[in-house]
């Protein structure tokens, strides 16, 4: 088993979930800036570090960051160059893990070689995504129904990314709790870490996560592969809640997902924003939202639809008088310049 960076992390381990069209290169860069480095201006206008990364004082987390999941098959196709854009990252995000999905061992092997070549700290395989298009390929949550193929995929990833730690993100089962049979199949392959989303594929995110099953996963891990880390995932509200759930379940760490929406400060140890006057909080939130929009347009505007940003606007703009009206305007916007004008007009009303 290759542990890599995982064995150097201090427990409990708090990590950022991989989320399609959410934790893209633009948002991860913003999270690194505001959560890990306290909002310090670590990048210049071209996205390069203003000085060597080691000279910045790390103030928060997350302890590990993931890319959006990327198709291993796609990385072996003619569309490879566009998909590689989803694998762009900065040094500020380290340790950074590339997440792939796929159902063809040969293509997973080739994609894993690319992940290693690109300098990632680890490779994670998605074996829990419930998206029908992903499952139709035999990937994502479909692996739960085919443990033998899942093992072949893991072995291919290990061969391709030789020397990098391999991990898996999955669920407790497909239609029911199947940890007693599903998790051992994964653990037998000597994974560095397994993230357990405490729901079945059938449940999607429609029911509360049941962290007692994370405790069950710990017991199974202890009997098969004690060195494999178990991270829990599902309904983690913030870092304090993550620590609470970790303590109650016995997990080595927790993964936070939806809580990051509209809150790139999520992993910062400082609670400075919470204590600011209302107008200052609104100003800072909207300023960061503008920064996010500009980064998205600069880094991804040529390959991703601007509508992706609108799910972020719903999260950034809520909770104060006048937020709804502002949000309606933002949802009709079509680019950074228009968003900037809308926000500028709104901020003048607060003065």
User: C-alpha 4: how far from its chain's center?
Assistant: 19
Q: pLDDT in tens for each of the 351 residues of the chain?
A: 999 999 999 999 999 999 999 999 999 999 999 999 888 777 776 667 777 766 777 878 999 999 999 999 999 999 899 999 999 999 999 999 999 999 999 999 999 999 999 999 999 999 999 999 999 999 999 999 999 999 999 999 999 999 999 999 999 999 999 999 999 999 999 999 999 999 999 999 889 999 999 999 999 999 999 999 999 999 999 999 999 999 999 999 999 999 999 999 999 865 555 667 888 889 999 999 999 999 999 999 999 999 999 999 999 999 999 999 999 999 999 999 999 999 999 998 887
Q: CA geometry: angle at 266 spanning 47 and 299, to 5°?
A: 25
Residue 138 token pair:
């035999």
> What is the reported pLDDT for 56?
74
List strand residue ranges (DSSP E) for the chain, in order.
Answer: 13-16, 65-71, 96-101, 122-127, 166-173, 193-200, 229-233, 253-256
> What is the reported pLDDT for 173?
98
> What is the reported pLDDT for 276?
76
> What is the reported pLDDT for 47?
65
> What is the reported pLDDT for 91?
92
Residue 93 neighbours by CB under 8 Å, 6+ apart: 28, 29, 32, 65
Q: Is 121 helix (H, G, I), strand (E, B) or coil?
A: coil
> What is the reported pLDDT for 4?
98
Q: What are residue 82's phi and psi, to 5 degrees?
A: -70, -45
Q: Which residues are catalytic, by number?
A: 129
Residue 321 neighbours by CB under 8 Å, 6+ apart: none
> What is the reported pLDDT for 271?
56
User: C-alpha 145: how far from its chain's center?
Assistant: 24
Give me the residues paired with residue 16 across strands: 256
pLDDT digits (tens, 9 = 90+) for 268-324: 865 555 667 888 889 999 999 999 999 999 999 999 999 999 999 999 999 999 999
> What is the reported pLDDT for 157?
98
């Amino acid at each position: 088993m290759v542990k890599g960076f995982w064995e150097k992390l201090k427990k409990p381990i708090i990590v950022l979930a991989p989320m399609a069209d959410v934790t893209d290169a633009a948002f991860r860069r913003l999270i690194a800036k505001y959560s890990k480095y306290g909002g310090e201006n670590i990048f210049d206008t071209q996205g390069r570090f203003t000085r060597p990364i080691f000279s910045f004082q790390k103030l928060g987390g997350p302890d590990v960051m993931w890319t959006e999941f990327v198709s291993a098959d796609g990385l072996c196709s003619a569309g490879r160059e566009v998909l590689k854009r989803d694998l762009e990252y900065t040094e500020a995000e380290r340790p950074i893990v590339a997440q792939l999905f796929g159902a063809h061992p040969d293509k997973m092997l080739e994609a894993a070689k690319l992940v290693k070549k690109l300098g990632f700290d680890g490779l994670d395989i998605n074996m829990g995504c419930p998206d029908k298009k992903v499952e139709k390929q035999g990937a994502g949550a479909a692996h739960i129904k085919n443990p033998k193929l899942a093992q072949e995929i893991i072995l291919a990833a290990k061969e391709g990314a030789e020397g990098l730690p391999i991990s898996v993100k999955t669920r407790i089962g497909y239609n029911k709790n199947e940890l007693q049979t599903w998790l051992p199949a994964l653990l037998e392959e000597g994974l560095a870490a397994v993230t357990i989303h405490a729901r079945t594929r059938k449940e999607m995110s429609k029911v509360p996560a049941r962290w007692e099953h994370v405790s069950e996963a710990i017991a199974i891990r202890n009997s098969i592969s004690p060195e494999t880390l178990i991270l829990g995932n599902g309904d983690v509200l913030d870092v304090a809640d993550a620590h609470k759930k970790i303590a109650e379940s016995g997990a080595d760490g927790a993964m936070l997902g939806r809580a990051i929406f509209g809150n790139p400060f999520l992993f910062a140890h400082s609670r400075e924003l919470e204590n600011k006057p209302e107008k200052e909080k609104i100003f800072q939130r909207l300023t960061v939202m503008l920064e996010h929009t500009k980064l998205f347009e600069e880094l991804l505007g040529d390959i991703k639809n601007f509508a992706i940003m609108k799910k972020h606007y719903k999260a950034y703009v809520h909770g104060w008088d006048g937020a709804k009206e502002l949000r309606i305007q933002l949802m009709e916007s079509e680019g950074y310049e228009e968003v900037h004008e809308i926000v500028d007009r709104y901020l003048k009303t607060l003065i």
